[in-house]
């Protein structure tokens, strides 16, 4: 009976793990592409941004937001994706769990601040908020927690 239960947990973990990896990878790739576009064209025209969108923000153009987006939502999550895909590269499984949870929380904070500064102007903002909530929820599911937090 115990072996049957462990097999179900293992399948549930794998499904959640692949969903999580997909969310992290897609978010990271999109952030890298958008960040690159914002750095190369700080006016935002290449992404179809309206000229007055940054009027209520501390930024005069999209250069700094592009750098922040590329690094915090692109590069760091890509490193997290690689460490999740190749767990032997990570010395501490618990750190992977915390990193994944922080990614979800950070992504949610990113969208929250973005909506405060420029308003809700893109459908993608809602999608990214849903990704942030999904990542956090997956981190809190017991099979995922137990895998990355031994001894719990």
Residues 9-23 have pLDDT tens digits of 688 888 889 999 999
pLDDT, position 52: 84
Burial 111-139 (b: 16+ CB within 10 A, else e): beebeeebeeeeeebeebbebbebbbebb
How far is 88 from 135, CA to CA, in rounded Å?
A: 22
**Residue 62 and residue 54 in contact, taking contact as beta carbons nearer than 8 Å:** yes
Residues 41-81 have pLDDT tens digits of 999 999 988 878 888 888 899 999 999 999 999 999 999 99
How far is 149 from 145, CA to CA, in rounded Å?
A: 6
Residue predicted with more confidence, 147 or 107? 107
Taking alpha carbons only, the member of 78, 60, 70, 61 closest to residue 34 is: 70
How far is 112 from 13, CA to CA, in rounded Å?
A: 29
Confidence of residue 148 (pLDDT cuts 50, 70, 90): confident
**Residue 94 and residue 148 in contact, taking contact as beta carbons nearer than 8 Å:** yes
């Amino acid at each position: 009976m115990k072996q049957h239960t462990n097999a179900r947990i293992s399948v549930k973990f794998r499904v959640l793990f692949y969903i999580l990896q997909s969310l992290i990878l897609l978010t990271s790739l999109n952030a890298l592409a958008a960040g690159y576009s914002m750095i190369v064209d700080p006016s935002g025209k290449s992404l179809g941004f309206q000229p007055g969108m940054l009027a209520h923000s501390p930024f005069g153009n999209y250069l700094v937001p592009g750098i922040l987006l590329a690094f915090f939502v692109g590069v760091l999550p890509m490193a997290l994706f690689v460490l999740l895909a190749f767990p032997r590269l990570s010395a501490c499984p618990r750190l992977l769990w915390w990193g994944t949870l922080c990614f979800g929380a950070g992504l949610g904070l990113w969208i929250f601040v973005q909506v405060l500064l420029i308003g809700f102007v893109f459908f993608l903002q809602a999608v990214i908020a849903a990704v942030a909530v999904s990542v956090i929820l997956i981190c809190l599911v017991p099979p995922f927690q137990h895998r990355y937090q031994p001894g719990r």
